[in-house]
Amino acid sequence: MREQIITRDVIANPKSKYGDAKASTRHFIIQRTTGAINIVFLILLLYVVMKLAGQDRADMVATIGNGWIGIPLAVLLVIATVHMRNGMRDVLEDYFAGRVYSLLMMLNTMFCIVIAAAGVASILKLVFWG
**The predicted structure's pLDDT at residue 7:** 77
What are the residues whose beta carbons fall under 8 Å from the beta carbon of 82, sequence distance 6 or more? 30, 34, 112
Tens of pLDDT along 54-106?
999 999 999 999 999 999 999 999 999 999 999 999 999 889 888 999 999 99
Report yes or no: 124 and 74 within 8 Å, Cβ to Cβ: yes
Report yes or no: 18 and 30 within 8 Å, Cβ to Cβ: no
For residues 17-56, one letter each, b for 16 or more C-beta atoms within 10 angstroms of the residue's C-beta and e for the rest, the string is: eeeeeeeeeeeeeebeebeebbeebeeeeeebeeeeeeee
Q: In 3D, which of 85, 77, 86 has the Cα closest to residue 45? A: 77
Tens of pLDDT along 10-23?
777 777 766 677 88
Query: What DSSP character marks residue 72?
Result: H
**The predicted structure's pLDDT at residue 74:** 96
Report yes or no: 116 and 78 within 8 Å, Cβ to Cβ: yes
**The predicted structure's pLDDT at residue 22:** 82
Tens of pLDDT along 105-115?
999 999 999 99
The packing angle between helices 57-65 and 98-129, to 10°, is 100
Q: What percent of the chain has a predicted confidence (pLDDT) above 90?
A: 71
Task: Give alpha helix (H) positions in 53-97.
Answer: 57-65, 67-95
Q: In 3D, which of 18, 20, 23, 21 has the Cα closest to residue 7? A: 18
